[in-house]
Amino acid sequence: MTATTSAQSLSPLSTELRAAALAALERLGATVPEAAEDAGIAVHSPLSGERIATVRRDGAEETRAAVGQAAEAFTTWRSVPAPARGHVIKRFGELLAEHKADLAELVTIEAGKITSEALGEVQEMIDICDYALGLSRSISGRTVPSERPGHRLMETWHPLGVVGVISAFNFPVAVWSWNTAVALVCGDTVVWKPSEKTLLSAIGSAALLDRALVEAGYPSEISRLVLGELEAGEALVADERVALLSATGSERMGAAVAPVVAGRMGRYLLELGGNNAAVITPSADLDLTTRGVVFSAAGTAGQRCTTLRRLIVHSSIVDDVVARLVRAYEGLPIGDPRTDGTLVGPLVDAGSAERMARSLAEARADGGEVLVGGGEVTVDGAPEATYVAPAIVRMPAQTAVVRRETFAPVLYVMTYDELDEAIALHNDVPQGLSSSIFTLDAREAERFLSEAGSDCGIANVNIGTSGAEIGGAFGGEKSTGGGRESGSDAWKQYMRRATNTINYSTELPLAQGVNFG
Ligand code: NAD
């Protein structure tokens, strides 16, 4: 049950975190695969900045074996009626609800999310199970009029096979469940390679799905977990038995993965970095806007793909907007994410803080002025952890640093005079994930949502860029990867379509009036 990291070498905080994580895993019914410190993958908690456990490292061979097991399980799972598959997901959702606090605790310990956001992440898993249960009774194809008498033309949908899921550290469990709940009701089997930074959360959530499968009499090979790093990820991407590779992470990762999957004619679904902006117009309700901006920009310590990173404010109101935001930022409680009232937890590791400091230096060199935040914050008892004060930077222009995603809480503020100018600035970045406009002017709102407005996969009015619901399709354009997950008709990506023509007549008329003898 325990990993081999010795409790004696840990600080009091890390000892407490390790004990809490292992206790949560025990309640989840999960077994932690032990490894020696020098052989396994180190599990750090951003709350202490220290290693709290060491787990088995799966490589290419173990990954290929997991794909083999999932491919074998597919041959039976695909023929289980979809509503019966839905019942497994329903049970998984019940187990998630029962263990919501346990899983959220692991998410907080490994990803550093404040308790409320960690609970929200698990709630998102429960929500997608509800959605997938409904989907299991509503997956349907079209019947299309045939031009030939006595013929029926219809579409049927079939499972693809093995779906490979690669996930990022910042949504350590929800992204897997979006993919898995939908893929499983579609009849696919799943191999998951979670982020190497959040392995305990993955072990805990996979244990619940195993339980739901086994209780219903199905083999747990329908869902496989690979505890690996780059080698395991690359093996999953290259494996020809993986029919769909759904990968969430940086644009860099997507650029490495896409050509490999395309080269073997596989399908991919990419959910990559964002560089999300909000336009604030003169008619905006500034109280509501301030709250929406602070949650989207500083929440999750700026570590969401949908984090608000750019603010494009009408020049007539920019001083007022900035003053309100600076006031709000100065009062942000930063600290242990388990403590009531904390709104900003730690960055995932010191590397993130270094990248944030480099981006701030580059912004200053470009003429930017840091109005608030940007420095490291010391939290009692956690000298190795990396806490930062979320920063607001006034920029004279959208320079290279602004056009890049820095995965930390930095909000760049720029100004505009005409809405067309704001939209052009908004779209002039490589990424296309999420966007917002704050306005009470219906014309401005509609223009932002029109084909000549935001070029993102998500475009909102009077709410921030983050915090999507599972009912809509989630994903973004351009270098964000073009994938869509979760609700709406995203399920179609997990299935293949067959067009069937059935002749129930006694003749054999050919399409387009062709006469063949
Ligand atoms: P990352 O790209 O470093 O790692 C993500 C995952 O990809 C990890 O599991 C990693 O092991 C794996 N990986 C990396 N290179 C690989 C390769 N060449 N082949 C196979 N697997 C590989 O990202 P991260 O730091 O964990 O997460 C933060 C990033 O993820 C940000 O850019 C964020 O915007 C993005 N993200 C996007 C979404 C979305 O839905 N669009 C959601 C969450 C996070």
Local structure of 447: helix, strand or coil: helix
The answer on 200 and 88 residing in a single domain is yes
Q: Using a 6 Å cutoff on CB, does residue 234 contact ligand 1? A: yes
Contact between 41 and 199 under an 8 Å Cβ cutoff? The reply is yes
Task: List, as one string, the DSSP characters of 167-225.
Answer: --TTSTTHHHHHHHHHHHHHT-EEEEE--TT-HHHHHHHHHHHHHHHHHTT--GGGEEE
Measured between alpha carbons, how far is residue 333 from residues 212, 343, 379, 437 in Å?
Answer: 39, 5, 11, 27
**pLDDT at residue 2 tops 50:** no
Q: Are residues 268 and 292 in the same domain?
A: no
- Measured in angstroms, how far is the CA atom of residue 444 from the centroid of ligand 1? 35
473 in a structural domain: no
Amino acid found at 23: A
**Residue 504 is assigned to a structural domain of this protein:** no
237 lines ligand 1 (CB under 6 A): yes
* In the predicted structure, residue 135 carries a pLDDT above the cut 80: yes
Answer yes or no: is the C-beta of 168 below 6 A from any ligand 1 atom. Answer: yes
Mean pLDDT for the stretch of residues 412-427:
98
Q: Which domain holds residue 280?
A: 276-461
Neighbours of 396 (CB within 10 A): 11
Spatial distance between the Cα atoms of 303 and 123, rounded to a whole number of angstroms: 19
Residue type, 119: L
**By mean pLDDT, which of 27-41, 123-137, 157-171, 391-405 is the weakest?**
27-41
pLDDT at 8 over 90: no
Measured distance CA(325)–CA(231) in Å, rounded = 43
Phi, psi (deg, nearest 5) at residue 502 = -120, 125
Q: Tokens in use for 277?
A: 């902006």
Cβ(274) to ligand 1 under 6 A? yes
The model's pLDDT over 443-490, given as tens digits with 9 standing for 90+, comes to 999 999 999 999 999 999 999 999 899 999 999 999 999 999 999 999
Tokens representing residue 450 in the block: 């029109």
SS3 assignment, position 367: coil
What tens digit of pLDDT does each residue of 271-309 get? 999 999 999 999 999 999 999 999 999 999 999 999 999
Residue closest to 393 by CA, chosen among 377, 378, 372: 372
| Secondary structure of residue 457 in the 3-state scheme | coil
| 71 and 204, same domain (yes or no) | yes
The answer to whether residue 516 scores a pLDDT higher than 80 is: yes
Same domain membership, residue 199 and residue 102: yes
Query: Which candidate in 105, 271, 405, 485 is catalytic?
Result: 271
On whether the CB atoms of residues 251 and 405 are closer than 8 A, the answer is yes
Q: Cα of 324 to ligand 1 centre, how many Å?
A: 34
Residues 140 and 34 in one domain: no
Q: Are residues 283 and 368 in the same domain?
A: yes
Q: For 34-67, what is each residue's pLDDT tens digit?
A: 799 999 999 999 999 999 999 999 999 999 999 9
Does 46 reside within a domain?
yes
**pLDDT tier for residue 244 given thresholds of 50, 70 and 90:** very high
Return the ∠ at Cα 253 (arms to 33 and 56), rounded to 5°.
Answer: 10
Active-site residue 271, yes or no? yes
**Mean model confidence pLDDT for the chain:** 96
Domain of residue 79, CATH code: 3.40.605.10
Whether 258 and 401 share a structural domain: no
Q: Which residues contact 2 (CB under 8 A, 6 or more apart)?
A: 22, 32, 34
Half-sphere exposure of 488 (CA within 13 A, CB side): 11
Q: Is the CB of 171 under 6 A from ligand 1?
A: yes
**Mean of the pLDDT values across residues 130-135?**
98
CA–CA separation, 461 and 311 (whole Å): 14
230 and 346 together in one domain = no
Report the distance separating Cα 491 and Cα 159, nearest Å.
10
Q: What is the CATH number of the domain that holds 324?
A: 3.40.309.10
- What distance in Å separates the CA atoms of residue 333 and residue 291, rounded to the nearest whole number? 15
**How far away, in angstroms, is 250 Cα from ligand 1 center?**
4
| Spatial separation of the C-alpha atoms in residues 120 and 200, rounded to whole Å | 18
DSSP state of 33: P
Top mutation candidate among 171, 198, 237, 248 for ligand 1, by most atoms within 8 Å of CB? 248
Question: How many domains, the chain?
Answer: 3
**Residue 283 belongs to a domain:** yes
Answer yes or no: do 87 and 197 share one domain.
yes
Neighbouring residues of 128: CB distance < 8 A, sequence distance ≥ 6: 174, 177, 178, 181, 182, 470, 486
Which atom of ligand 1 approaches the CA of 193 most closely? Answer: 9
pLDDT at site 466: 95
pLDDT digit string, tens, across residues 177-189: 999 999 999 999 9
User: Is residue 472 situated within a structural domain?
Assistant: no
352 Cβ neighbours under 8 A, 6+ residues apart: 303, 386, 407, 408
Going by C-beta distance under 8 Å and a sequence separation of 6 or more, which residues neighbour residue 360?
370, 374, 391, 393, 410
- 389 and 489 part of one domain: no
Task: Report DSSP letters for 377-434, one per residue.
Answer: E--TT-TTS-EE--EEEE-SS--HHHHS--SSSEEEEEEESSHHHHHHHHH-SSEESE
Same domain, 229 and 86: yes
Whole-number pLDDT of residue 3? 42
The confidence score (pLDDT) of residue 284 equals: 98
pLDDT digits (tens, 9 = 90+) for 360-386: 999 999 999 999 999 999 999 999 999
Q: What are phi and psi of 391, to 5 degrees?
A: -110, 150
User: Each residue of 86-125: pLDDT tens digit?
Assistant: 999 999 999 999 999 999 999 999 999 999 999 999 999 9
For ligand 1, atom 28, name the residue with the nearest CA.
249
Check pLDDT > 80 for residue 1: no
Does ligand 1 have an atom closer than 6 angstroms to the CB of 272?
A: yes
In sign, the C-alpha dihedral spanning 470, 472, 475, 476 is negative
Residue 510 forms part of a structural domain:
no
pLDDT band for 7, please (50, 70, 90 cuts): low
Residue 376 belongs to some domain of the structure: yes
The closest alpha carbon to 166, from 194, 207, 190, belongs to 194
- pLDDT at residue number 6: 55
Does a structural domain hold residue 507?
no
Task: Determine contact, residues 171/184, Cβ cutoff 8 Å.
Answer: no
User: What is the pLDDT, as a whole number, of residue 5?
Assistant: 55
The reply to whether 235 and 318 lie within a common domain is no
